[in-house]
A and B are shown apart, each in its own frame.
Chain A
Amino acid sequence: MRRVLLHLMLPFFLTVLAVVAIAWVGYTSYRTTQAGVSRLTHELLEAVQLNIGQEVADYIMPAVTGNQVASGMIAHAPVQVQDRVFYAYASTVLREAPQLQSFYLADEQGSFMLVTRGTQKGLLDRVRLVSKGTSRVFHHELYDEHDTKVKEWDADAKDYDPRTRPWYADTNGVNGIKWTQPFLFPDDGQFVMTSSVRFKGGDGHTLVFAANISLNQLSAYLEKIKIGNSGSAMIVDSKGRIMAGRNLTQQARAAGWNPDKMVINPKDEPVFSLGYDHYRVRGFGPHNVTTNGQHYITMASALPRYSEGWVLLIAVPAQDFASFGRQSSRQSLQFAGIIVVFSIFVGGLFIRQVRRTERGTRQLATQQAQITLESAAVRQVAMAPQLFDPSVEPLVLTTQLARVTQARRASLWRFLHDGAAMVCEESYDLTQDIHTGGFEMGGPELAKFFAAINEGAPFTVGTAAADERTAAFERLVMREIGTRTLAVYPVSGPKGVLGMIALEDPTLLPHLQYFLDLTTNIAGTRFAAQQVLEQHAAQAPAGQAPDRPPPAALAPVLTDNMLMHVPELETLQGASIYSSVAVLVITFSDPVVEGEQEVTALITLINQLAMDVQAIAAEEQLFAVEVAGHRMICMAGCTAAPDPGALSRVADAALRMRETFMAALAAADLEPVFTMGIDYGTAFGGAVGQSPKVFNLWGQTVSLAELMAEGASDPGVIQVTERVYAALRDRYLFRSRGAFFAPHLGLGRAYTLAARR
């Protein structure tokens, strides 16, 4: 759990933390940029507004100041040259100021002069109202750029009287510049305003000087200037009428050429309409408006004072300025995204690296454990006494082979009869912890298996039953315990392959090869030594064993300490040496009894056990069963000629007696209070005493059987000597208890007889 927390959760948490931090920085940056962009937008709009204001002032200035200059000049000029001063001034200004259209001069007597632009470019039309007879006409004189008259003509003035015109009449009683309402000229689309000023001439007459200024130029300027990407400006007067702006002509046409109707239409100009409404409610300054889901910034500002309360309206889509911020934010977001992806990638790499390191550490630990196991196994092998002595069972080899390779069973096989058969020298079953051996296999069906071994190269078969080389071995040996995989390591000697090591269901790892090579070579040395011993034995002259004298005729023997004996015992006389006696000693521990009832029950039990022993001994054809206190001595093979079946009969009897005792004691609710010991070998026996004569058996075999019984590891156990194990191991299952030293017997191994195969 802690490892998962450290190796997965921590990097994940750190990655999430990094992502959140980056996102927070990105958001903060976005907010800061937005605020900066907003401030910048307002400053920019103010600058634009100032610029437009200046432009409007510059545009109107010639009309306003021109009026004052011209009126001053005309007022102070002699009367005779007043018209020339007017013409000179008007001609000059019209050539220099394109926004000015014409100049008027009139007095209270009805005289009227006009300078205006001609129909052709560069020509100026000077007009004077004159009387010709009874009618009044406009006398036109057309002058070119060099002030040369190129044409003159008269036009009927009808009843024109300048004193009735608004530009003249409106100045009455006004001191200073007076603007007329704008008026439109549908024929040329001009949108004109007139500024006029009233003054006194040098002759005392009242004069009015007027200048016509075209607002079309101002509109063109407003259309031309760029505010953001798609912003625009408009000038309206204090009553909301459009003075200048985009598409002025179209608007004029839509208003029927009536300037009073040229107000802001919410349908055509929704943004300006809203901006104007905001201005009317909240006054000058920037305002944010929204229409059709789009945000706009509008700004209303006052124009110069002589502009009769005009208001400049500017409208810009917010995104024109915010786009910079948005772009910046998008870039920030992209950077953040890249960093996040990179962080996740690095986090992933880190987690992957940590997991790999962890896996490596686990593998290292496994290898370390394997090395420790192998080292321990090698040490055990090295410590094993008489490792190369073929007469001593190589238990340690198979045990360690099975432990190191985790094989179900490890066995050591040696070739017999010039390679026609194999004998199992030793076999160790890991799961049951049992050593066996001694069985042989041979025959033509194993020829392929033997041939494969004789090739000398190790081989492993995943399914032994399916491979033609190992099928026979699987059927004969492996099927018994249900193993599938077989690994065979041929054991080579100086003259070719001597045998093999067979591992069933092993876990083979590459580095185990060294240990396997080591054990294979040890086995090879043992097999070679075995061959030498066998050759020596074959060369020795036969019949060295001393001929034993035939037993003499024996007197009848009293057998009152015998539970059972064979009839031949009756005829035994004197003492004799028996070369292959099997002795089973059964010892009972002293029972604790209290009361007569228990004693009676116990005696009944002992009697039953005794009868059971008698029956089993008779069935197994034992020689005799002797009772001595809390011990029983069962014997077989007390014959002059060696009895090859004696030991196995005793072993069978021991196993059956153990079962019987266990059942009887369990029925009496008692613990198993007996142990058994078996030895096999030479013993002395004979009838001793005078009257009664009894048969007695003694010698090392009996002592060892007693020692085995006394020193059994647990109650109910049958402990046997190494000689018994060597004789029976191919037919019975044994468990090794270890090697022991007894001063009078030397070093020997003790085994526990478990069951019949």
Chain B
Amino acid sequence: METYSSGPLLELNKAIPSFEESGLPPLPFSMKLMPGDCVVVEVRDAARATMFADICSGLVPLDGGNVSFMGLDWTQMKDRALNALRGRIGRITRRASWPEFVPTHIAIMLQQLHHTTRPQDDLLQEAARLAEWFGLPGLPTLSPALLSDTDLCRAACVRAFLGRPHLLLLEDPLEGGPQELANPFLGAITEARDRGAGVIWLVRGNAVWQRYRQGITASWRLADDGLAAVRMA
């Protein structure tokens, strides 16, 4: 993966999300994420956090402003470019996102198989390595419905970090997830940042990320009055 170094990785420029589509307050959101940055966004409402990640991924229509990823405005691109660009985003979401019709290992690789042209064997190797990294005995091959919640949480981490993404939109897996996931998760974030990825870590409270506060670039809060920067003590 080449490191993107020509400006902000992700830029929200007075982006006003459509209230009808997202339920977010129709206020201008402005934020810049540079390569290697790790930004914590505190959002109390899980559904709202998912919507914010959708905005960053260019999935929510805007009433004004724009959202650019790697210097490209989401609204100005055609499908092929959109798909290729979204292949560079890794996400952990609390929205139900596991297909029931394929085994978990396929579900993990589905995003990369869809958005990129990487060979399946490569993906399999990388996924298996990440699975072990995140505390699984291997790549789960059962249906996602048969996995326990903690294993599904680990599988979600595997899926997010698979393909060495440029942008990571992570709805916090630690709260409610297995405690021993913390080290691999923070390790994976650090590793991703080291290679130039930007991380947006969507948390519910500030207790979760205190262990990693030295590594946090900026802290924001998303509430009814919009997106506001929070001074880090």
Footprint of B on A, CB under 8 Å?
A: 380, 383, 385, 589, 671, 675, 707-708, 710-715, 719, 737-743, 745, 747-748, 750
Contacts and interface: CB of A to CB of B under 8 A. Distances in A.
B128 A743 contact: yes
Contact of A739 (B125, B128, B135, B141): B141
A740 B136 contact: yes
| Interface pairs A-B: 4 shortest CB-CB | A740-B138, A711-B137, A742-B138, A738-B142
B88 interface: no
Interface stretch (B32-40, B48-56, B145-153): B145-153
A672 to B, nearest CB: 10
18 contacts: A385-B141, A671-B179, A708-B137, A710-B132, A711-B131, A714-B150, A737-B148, A738-B140, A738-B142, A739-B140, A739-B141, A740-B141, A741-B139, A741-B141, A742-B137, A742-B138, A747-B141, A748-B137
Contacts of A707: 132, 137-138
Interface of B: 105, 124-125, 128, 131-132, 135-143, 146-148, 150-151, 178-180, 183
Contact of A714 (B140, B147, B178): B178
A738 B105 CA distance: 12
A710 B138 contact: no
Contacts of B141: 385, 738-741, 747
**Residue among B138, B141, B150 with the most chain A CB within 10 A?**
B138
Contact of A740 (B137, B148, B150, B183): B137
A713 B148 contact: yes
B140 A740 contact: yes
A155 B139 CA distance: 158
Contacts, number: 74
A140 B132 CA distance: 160
A718 to B, nearest CB: 13
Contact of B128 (A380, A738, A742): A742
Nearest to A399: B146
A719 B137 CA distance: 9
A738 B128 CA distance: 15
Contacts of B128: 741-743
A340 to B, nearest CB: 55
B14 to A, nearest CB: 43
Contact of A742 (B132, B142, B146, B178): B132
Contacts of A719: 137
Contact of B138 (A589, A671, A748): A748
Contacts of A675: 180
B216 to A, nearest CB: 19
A601 B146 CA distance: 42
Nearest to B100: A379
B138 A380 contact: no
Nearest to A746: B138
A568 B87 CA distance: 58
A748 B131 CA distance: 14
Which of A383, A719, A739 has most B Cβ within 10 Å?
A: A739
A589 B132 CA distance: 16
A743 B146 CA distance: 22
Given A711-B132, A742-B132, A742-B137, A380 B179 contact: no
Contacts of A742: 128, 132, 137-139
Given A671-B179, A738-B146, A740-B140, 20 more contacts: A380-B143, A380-B146, A675-B180, A707-B138, A711-B135, A711-B137, A711-B138, A712-B137, A713-B148, A739-B140, A739-B142, A740-B138, A741-B124, A741-B139, A742-B132, A743-B125, A745-B138, A747-B141, A748-B137, A748-B138
A712 B134 CA distance: 10
Contact of A713 (B124, B146, B178): B178
Given A715-B179, A742-B137, A743-B128, A383 B143 contact: yes
Contacts of A708: 137
A710 B151 contact: no
B137 A750 contact: yes
Nearest to A711: B137
Contact of A741 (B138, B148, B179): B138
A677 B141 CA distance: 20
Contacts of B105: 741
Nearest to B178: A714
A258 B138 CA distance: 138
Nearest to B135: A711
Contacts of B131: 711, 740
Contact of B124 (A712, A740, A743): A743
Contacts of A713: 135, 148, 150-151, 178
Contacts of A741: 105, 124, 128, 138-141
A719 B151 CA distance: 14
Contacts of B132: 707, 710-711, 742
A436 B86 CA distance: 46
A715 B180 contact: yes
Nearest to A750: B137
Contacts of B136: 711, 740
A671 B178 CA distance: 13
Contacts of B137: 707-708, 710-712, 719, 737, 740, 742, 748, 750
A712 B136 CA distance: 7
Nearest to A592: B211
A737 B139 CA distance: 12
Contacts of A671: 179
B102 to A, nearest CB: 10
Nearest to B102: A383
Contacts of B142: 738-739
A676 to B, nearest CB: 13
